A and B are shown apart, each in its own frame.
Chain A
Amino acid sequence: MNPVVLTLRGRPDQRLDLAPLVPHRLAGMTAAEIERIELQTTRRRVLLGDVFHLRMGDAAQIRIEASCDNLDRIGHQMTGGEIVVDGDAGAWVGRLMTAGRLTIRGSAGPWAASGMSGGTFEIFGSVGDRLGGPGPGEVAGMRGGVVLVRGLAGERAGDRIRRGTIVVEGDAGAYAGSRMIAGTLVVVGRAGRLPGYLMRRGTIVLGKEAAELSPTFIDCGVHDLIAARLIAGFIGGYSARAERLFRRPLRRFAGDMATLGRGEIFSRA
């Protein structure tokens, strides 16, 4: 099964909206129809054929080659299949994704995985602010699925997420897991200031001591929990580095007591 391959001819001079390029929307379209898809975000019209070289294949798999950071909304509302991006991606990547597999071999911009509810989203490089966070006016961010960032994450990774699992293998910026409603966020590296800021429920696991932990998180002692083994068994399928964090007893901090306080931060004992 050959994928549909889209090779960027050169860096476009405006940001492009790649939301239409998902497997379920390309299914059944001819090459000519795909080349006529409009991608512009300004008044100047840009057709797909103007900026991409298209090689047809089965639309269940899409490959975007020579990608750059002004391609936004890749994998928007993706419902299945696979998208692989060779290069960087812009903002809102994987937004509202419900299933399938999305891989960015470079780095991604802000609001990646925003509102995602299912599927697997892997970023080889780093990712901008508000990973998995809610869009404007939305109550909750990510609602399910797995996000794996091999590099660094910006500020507020996991902001207001409700469900699902985010693993950041590198460091995370300030306010990781801010306002979390529930779900799981693992930062293997060092988290910036005030992780779990105003989190209500949910689990944050830190591989290294955070730059500053809020005094509204209360030390509940060191525990070897069965739940940690279950999470480790699940995460081990995605990240061996994250799994290793769970192999020893962890110190549990309950919080954020400035709000509901049913959340928890685990860190090395």
Chain B
Amino acid sequence: MRAVTVGGVRIDDTFAEAFGMRATAVIVTADSIRWARQAALTMTGFATSVIGCGCEGGMDAELTATQTADRRPGVRVLLFAVSTSELQKQLQTRVAQCVLTSPGSACYAGLEGEETLRLGNALRYFGDGWQISKRFGGKHYWRIPVMDGEFVCEATTGLTKEAVGGGNLLIMGRTARATLAAAEAATAAIVKVPGAITPFPGGIVRSGSKVGSKYKGVPASTNHAFCPTLRGAVDTALDPDTACVLEIVIDGLTSEAVAAAMAAGIAAVVKLGPRRGAVRVSAGNYGGKLGPHHYHLRDLLP
């Protein structure tokens, strides 16, 4: 595999292979940004991978009081799943258990779309008959009485079928510390890209997986070609100077958002340089036959 070197960082001539997904967005507001963040964080907890969590989710952007419907600070949350029905189920349970329960919260549609998912229309039954429907300005809200006043929730939110999940970067360094610094720089840059999230803890995965396993019934297992401790024992993908690999997985509402997020991540790693950060950037794929979206790193160079 040929590689180009940019700013001392080797960028592999390879591509990330990603898949079409269903996605939605909601805006969670609260009396303060601290509580809006808390509700959003709780709602997107245990939402790292569709393999085990049912959906992938994250905070897309923080919104100021002038940008939200109720003029309070808020957070836009994105959720991604493999089917509309699973996305509906995840949205409903997560908003019910994590946003409805959070002090002072309200929840609004975060995406316009011809197709919609039930939001307040599903949660209103919590009101046990005391819920109030309000329609004005083309919007439909539900007011559900709760112990700190009312939980206001928009009736529906938009659904997109153009979303992409599984954009990724593999960041390799000489030490764990330097590699983490590079990965942190990349996620900090990706946070600023609208419409894209990094669902893993802090945006970073240390346990990249491959499809399948030697054991029956295990759908995914450790990506042994990228494990530095197995370097001598397996057909490794690592260079002799690599001691640590961290992956950043990116989901976006559009293919363009994923490409922009990957480009922002590569630029941040290159900017940090090989001395303080990573020495090599690669990407994961399945040979190009499984996923319809291919993001070639050479097209995303800074």
Contacts and interface: CB of A to CB of B under 8 A. Distances in A.
B134 interface: yes
Interface in A171-201: 182, 184, 201
A182 B141 CA distance: 13
Classify the interface of chain B: helix, strand, loop or mixed. strand
Most buried by A among B71, B130, B134, B139: B134
B118 to A, nearest CB: 19
Contacts of A223: 149
A203 B133 CA distance: 10
A230 B133 contact: no
A231 B143 CA distance: 12
Contacts of B152: 226-227, 230
Contacts of A264: 132
A216 B68 CA distance: 37
Query: Which bracket fits the contact residues of B?
Result: 10 to 19
Interface string A143-184: 010100000000000000001010000000000000000101
Contacts of A262: 130, 132
A229 interface: yes
Given A225-B150, A227-B152, A230-B141, A163 B132 contact: no
Nearest to A220: B145
What 8 A-B pairs are tightest by C-beta distance, nearest first? A234-B137, A226-B152, A229-B70, A234-B136, A227-B143, A226-B70, A226-B106, A165-B136
A189 B70 CA distance: 25
A262 B130 CA distance: 7
Given A226-B152, A230-B141, A230-B152, A203 B71 contact: no
Given A229-B70, A230-B141, A233-B71, A203 B150 contact: no
Contacts of A227: 132, 134, 141, 143, 150, 152
A225 B132 CA distance: 13
With a 10 A CB-CB cut-off, give which of B70, B72, B106 has the most chain A CB atoms. B70
Pick from A230, A234, A237, A264 the residue with the most CB of B within 10 Å: A230
B220 interface: no
Interface string B31-50: 00000000000000000000
Interface of B: 69-72, 106, 130, 132-137, 139, 141, 143, 149-150, 152
B150 A226 contact: yes
Contacts of A230: 69-70, 134, 136, 139, 141, 152
A184 B150 contact: no
A201 B132 contact: yes
B271 to A, nearest CB: 41
Contacts of A237: 137
6 contacts: A146-B136, A184-B136, A227-B134, A229-B71, A230-B141, A264-B132
Given A226-B150, A230-B70, A233-B71, A184 B134 contact: yes
B106 A163 contact: no
A23 B150 CA distance: 43
Given A223-B149, A227-B143, A233 B69 contact: yes
B149 A225 contact: yes
